[in-house]
Structure 1
Amino acid sequence: MAMRTELGATIRRLRKEGGLTLVELAVRSELSHPFLSQLERGLARPSMQSLHRIARALGTSQQALLALSAGPPATGRAEEGVHLVRSGEGMPVAAGSSGVARVLGASGFAVHPVEFTWASKCFEEYYDHAGDEFLYVVEGEIEVDLGTTQGQQLHRLGPGDSLCYAGSTPHRWRALGETDRVRVLMVQNVAGSPAKAHGEGE
């Protein structure tokens, strides 16, 4: 509940800094006004898809939103901060129809790591954002769909495989085989994106 409250406060702050009303954000994100109102008050649990739409409307990425909401580095100065996340900790977020994402990063860092467990067997909507993205498959098999300028690319990845691509490339992925055996580490580098002005990056 505390994490949802912090996420809602972060969205409200960025919305107000951008001079947007809730209704305007609802139109830009194609989400309902009541849902956004509940989200800002910490009463709704968003999915990664809804966070992606909100982030795009606010000029940032969903990972950056989550990192801002996870709080500042736990110890040390801003330039040498340390953020420790133990097993079972981290902000949980719904990721698709059956998946769960665990936010491992915090504000003040130029990278935003997220661990995904479980996954849908069906492709869902594409994501795109500033910066670069790195995928590493810990367990299970996934298929990554990249909408590059040269056309669609499909990459099948298993344990130990990794993939890097520009975040601006439309991308999405799905599970192959047993959905409950999928575990993926995603690291997003959004240094230089609009989120940097709110504490991201150097």
Structure 2
Amino acid sequence: MTIGQKIREIRLLKKMTLKQIAQKTELSIPFLSQLERDKCNATMGSLRNIADVLGVHPSAFFDYNELTEPTVVNKNDFDYRDLSNHVNSIFKPLKITIQPNSQISSRISHKGTEFVYCLEGTLTLVVGDENYNLTPHQSYMYQATEPHYWYNHTQESVTFLVVNET
């Protein structure tokens, strides 16, 4: 099942209309409709906003193949792996790789706390008005209600772990 199909399935289970989702996410109804029909792609920020409105973690939009394999989503600029082993918990561990000179999304904010741990490369983390350059083995924890995003200004891939509340 595709990301769009999962969004539609969850939206219908929650008995929500595209108009309701659009009003709460500030995304347009045509965009949401195209997303559900797999006619366009969404940023991680948009997926996070949709997930918050639907009351689910963004990983709910991705299919699981086997219990022992992480969910993997490959986009042009990033690779997103759900490392939760499909255990339902208040915490969600993710492994993310950002390609050179890329960012995942524009500033987003959502409920909860996030912990970021850099594995490879130099990750630039923006929280509020502050920039943090994390190198391997450095970490940072912040309130996810603060506008934030991650990007890679370097010529090498950046890989990091994120643990956030679901």
Q: 1:15 to 1:186 in 2, by over 3 A?
A: same
Normalized per residue, which structure has more strand? 2
Partner of 1:31: 27
Q: Which blocks of at least 5 consecutive residues in structure 2 are unaligned?
A: none
The Cα of 1:189 is off from its aligned counterpart by: 2.7
Q: Quick one: which of 182, 187, 193 aligns to 2:163?
A: 187
Q: Distance in 2 between matches of 1:119 and 1:49?
A: 19
Match of 1:65 in 2: 58
Q: How does 1:5-20 map to 2 (within 5 A)?
A: 7-20=3-16
Distance (whole Å) between structure 2 residues aligned to residue 121 and residue 84 of structure 1: 26
TM-score normalized with structure 2 length:
0.76
Which residue does the alignment assign to 2:126?
145
**Aligned Cα RMSD in Å?**
2.9
Query: Greater Rg, structure 1 or structure 2?
Result: 1
Runs of 4+ in 1 over 6 A off after TM superposition: none
Q: TM-score, normalised by structure 1?
A: 0.65
Structure 1 residues 156-167: aligned runs within 5 Å = 156-167=133-144
Letter in 2 for 1:156: N
In 1, the alpha carbon distance for the partners of 2:4 and 2:103 equals 29
Q: What stretches of structure 1 of length at least 5 have no aligned partner?
A: 75-82, 191-202
Offset, 1:48:
0.9
Give the number of aligned pairs. 163
**CA distance 1:19–1:50, shift in 2 (3 Å):** same
> What is the 5 A alignment of 1:1-202?
2=1, 4=2, 7-60=3-56, 64-67=57-60, 69-71=62-64, 74=67, 83-85=68-70, 90-94=71-75, 99-105=77-83, 107-110=86-89, 111-118=92-99, 120=101, 125-147=106-128, 152-178=129-155, 180-190=156-166
More helix by share: 1
Alignment partners' CA distance in 2, 1:40 and 1:135: 30
SS at match of 1:19: coil
Question: What amino acid does structure 1 have at the position aligned with 2:154?
Answer: G
Work out the CA distance in 2 between the residues paired with 1:105 and 1:122.
Answer: 21
Residue 173 to residue 119, structure 1, CA distance change in 2 (3 Å): farther
Q: Deviations over 1:116-147 (max 9, x none)?
A: 23154679522222232121212211222212
Identity of aligned residues (%): 27
